[in-house]
Amino acid sequence: MGKQNTDFENTIISDNLQTNIDFIKNLFKKDSMLRVRQVRMNTGLGTGVDCCLIYFDGMVDSKLLNESIVFPLQRSKIVVPPASLIDYIDKKVLFAGEVKRVTGMTDILRGIEYGDTALFVDGYSTVLIIDTKGFDTRGISEPEDERILQGPREGFKEAILYNTALLRCKLQTPDLCIEAQHIGRRTDTKVFICYLETLVEPDMLAELKARLSKIDIDGVLDSNYLSELIRDHPCSPFKTTGITERPDIVAARLLEGRIAVMVDGTPAVLTIPYLFVENFQSDEDYYLNYLVSSIGRILRFLCFFLAISIPALYLSLVGFHEELLPTMFALSVAQARGGVPLSSLLECVAVIVIFEILKETGVRMPQSLGHALAIVGGLIIGQAAVDARFISAPVLIAVALSGVCGLMVPRLRGIVFYARFVLLFWGYLGGLFGFMLGISALLIMIFGLKSFGVDCTISLLDPSPQGLKDILWRSSWRKMRTRPAFNRDRIRAGENKP
């Protein structure tokens, strides 16, 4: 358990049943969901043995509890030496699928708080933790933000045990390792580290475990808590840990030698290391024909550049390099700007901010209202602003095209927002020269990114025919015979030659 529970971590379980009951009742004296069910086991000597079941209502399967534990205990007749009573109950009385013997109060509390039932027997300091989990969870469905046209429709749920089962169905191999940790002083959240032992790099795995062990926080309610605490560049807007709700994506990452981190209570799973090219890879790239997938990926790279560059290029050309514009186009821009009270910079900033507000509002509102808001905001408000001469039509077109291109790379939404403003100011101050300086600074940041010791642009730093076959385009599976360079075993398929 967490640090707040150190007062009972060393508590010794008494062999007196009533003492144990009083201790746990006092510990949860303000929790009305705690249930204490006392049962007497019959013996052939005409006497009985008192037992007690402790669990939380709503966390256990009542039918399983009654049929597999309560009924067998009440109907049993035991004539065994006292020293073997716990062993006899475990092996011959209970019908439960999983039973663990514990002697520490921490293990008992951790079990009952997660839906298990603790069985205390009078006269014994060993307690049986019985698997009776039965709390309801959301059904398996396709993640809303990761919908695909073709491929598996499964998505992770909030219950971590179901998530591990979904992953196990994808990777039916003993090479799959799933290690458990508990993080959070108060939530004591269960965290699973998943990897394929023969592929993962040991130093990377050790680094992850070291970073997780240093986390000291009250509670962990979502995987983003861990993502912010273990990332390589805390102040960078670039992601260095991947996140997904799809079991097939996690399985594919593990097959590339990566590590997945599951957090109980959330369907979002972290994957590390995270390469920059993953921002442009769609979930269905590998479920469609590679020629079709390659077209989509090239468009995403192009849209990312356009999303961050169009407003800056517009300001650069209009403010510093009008001679580069066709004469008719320059005259049209000048005519459209006539009567507009704001400068080109303020126009762009205002329209970008309004566009982001409308986009954020559309996301947060109910789906039907969100679509209506997008239409009203994009058409009516934009046209009205141009007619009222608050903004010029060229600025509206430039920002709208930039915003639409940004929707093609949702994983880089934050980067697009910040980079768009940075390049906008550089272009306003220095024209194309300032714009190129901003692009150069952005590239330096990208090539300096690391994720758990792995360069996020590793395929570009050491280019090879195999390494480039899943970057700008996706080659067919016949030609992708190697895994990324951070693997222990780089051969994916075919002969042992890259």
pLDDT in tens, the chain (498 residues): 444 444 566 677 888 899 999 999 988 888 888 999 999 888 665 678 889 999 998 888 888 899 899 988 888 877 666 667 888 888 888 888 889 998 888 889 889 988 899 999 988 889 999 999 887 666 677 777 777 777 788 888 888 888 898 899 899 888 999 999 999 988 889 999 999 998 999 999 999 999 999 999 999 999 999 999 998 888 888 888 999 999 999 999 999 889 999 999 899 999 999 988 888 988 788 888 888 888 988 999 999 999 999 999 988 988 888 777 787 878 877 777 777 787 888 888 888 888 888 777 777 776 666 566 666 666 677 777 777 778 888 888 888 899 889 888 888 988 999 999 999 999 988 889 999 999 999 999 998 888 888 888 877 766 666 667 778 888 887 777 777 777 777 677 665 544
What DSSP string describes 426-446?
HHHHHHHHHHHHHHHHHHHHH
Q: Do you find a cis peptide bond into 273, omega within 30 degrees of 0?
A: yes
What DSSP string describes 398-424?
HHHHHHHHHTT-GGGHHHHHHHHHHHH
Distance (Å) of CA 233 to CA 153, 195, 236, 243, 453: 33, 23, 5, 16, 11
How far apart (Å, rounded) are the C-alpha atoms in residues 393 and 353?
16
Task: Look up residue 345 and give its amino acid.
Answer: L
Strands 34-43 and 77-78: parallel
| 21 in Cβ contact with 29 (< 8 Å) | no
Structure tokens at 6: 């150190």
How far apart (Å, rounded) are the C-alpha atoms in residues 465 and 497?
12
State residue 80 phi and psi, 5-degree precision.
-140, 160
